[in-house]
A = this chain, B = another copy of it.
Amino acid sequence: MLREDVQNRLDSLTKPKGSLGFLEEIAAKMAMMQGNVIPELPRKKAVYVFAADHGVVAEGVSAYPSDVTPEMVLNMLHGGAAINVLSRHVGSEVHLVDAGVDYDFDDSADLIRSKVGHGTRDFAVDSAMTSDQASQCIENGRAIARAAITQGVELAAIGDMGIGNTTTATAVAAAFGYDLDAIVDIGTKINDDQLKHKTEVIRKAIALHQPFRDPMDVLGKVGGFCLGEMAGFILEFADHQLPVVLDGYPTTAGALIAWKMNPGVTDYLFAGHRSWVRGHIVILKDMGLRPILDLDMRLGEGTGAVLSFSVIEAAVKIMREMATFEDASITTGSEQ
């Protein structure tokens, strides 16, 4: 069995068994994905930042106006956002995806045009999108993934950018049955009263739209264009047995949709970090994903995900480059 061969290899390396902890699990997961005891390093790494607007912002759930979404997209295109800095640091490409920003970008803007609409509708009063739009999101996400794979991307991260995205992510999780009070949190910097208001907006929306038939129904009623495209991206990467690294709460809500459609996707997912946003770890635990980093980050954009690339590559290199006890003629311990 491959899993046993992988474990035997890990145990043959010059270290006490298991002493590299989670690094060993990451190495094993990469090996299993590739179907080889000794995994290859990814030839190309890239982060896809899915930007979209959320109609629910009309309910006053966010500290920022929706104008900030296109402004931040332009900042990323100019290389000045945190995701640009961290991607350069780890040697990753950055691709901006317009999944549904309520703004028409200039033709010259270097982004992936995948707009399903000019922002979703306000799910407090209506379905966020039509069922056709929900299907379109999945197909668009899959198409972006296929293009990435064609271009040689073998380790992808996904990030989310869009004012109101934590409200949408929370509504999606609640629609799947998570206890709203256990997962709701501020996204960036709203106060207690605003948080209470945000919670009530989501609670009423869930009551308005239930019952939810299936993941596509959840996506259509309370989802976001970005979440739907990320779900499609994940499904396609999993079909190609390639890894996707999740970032924070919105990307994990996107993964939740994909996971409900195909529980096997978690074999190809890493949780790049544990976000400071409370509900994040609750969902990750259910999906059996342990966060690689835990730095109280809550920025989004894929920042936590790309920072973890360095740890994932380190894990692969451990498997590829460390000497074995036999190579190094080292005395093994009493229980080795």
Residues of A bordering B, CB below 8 Å: 13-17, 19-23, 63-65, 67-68, 71-72, 74-75, 78, 80-82, 84-86, 88-90, 188-189, 276, 292-299, 303, 307, 310-311, 313-314, 317-318, 321-323, 327-331, 333-335
Assess whether A16 is in contact with B317, with CB atoms less than 8 Å apart: no
In the complex, what residue of chain B is closest to A297 when comparing beta carbons? B21
Q: With A297-B20, A333-B64 known to touch, is A74 a contact of B318 (CB < 8 Å)?
A: no
CB-based contact B23/A321 at 8 Å: no
- Contact A86–B314 (Cβ < 8 Å): yes
With A80-B14, A311-B307 already in contact, the answer to whether A334 and B63 are too (CB < 8 A) is: yes
State in angstroms the CA–CA spacing of A84 and B318 once bound together: 10
**Is the pair B322, A81 in contact by a Cβ cutoff of 8 Å?**
yes
Instruction: Using A15-B82, A318-B82, A322-B80 as known contacts, say yes or no to A299 and B64 having CB atoms under 8 A apart.
Output: no
Most buried by B among A21, A22, A294: A21
Contacts of A65 in B (CB 8 A): 331, 333
Whether A299 lies near B16 (C-beta < 8 A) is: yes
**Do A64 and B15 touch (CB < 8 A)?**
no
Report whether A189 and B82 are in contact in the complex, using a CB–CB cutoff of 8 Å: no
Minimum distance in angstroms from A334 CB to a CB of chain B: 5
Residue numbers in B under 8 Å from A276 (CB-CB): 21
CB distance from A134 to the nearest CB of B (A): 29
In addition to A22-B295, A295-B311, A307-B314, 17 A-B residue pairs with Cβ atoms within 8 Å of each other are: A14-B75, A14-B81, A14-B82, A16-B63, A17-B189, A19-B299, A20-B82, A21-B298, A71-B328, A71-B329, A80-B322, A82-B322, A84-B321, A85-B314, A188-B333, A189-B335, A293-B293
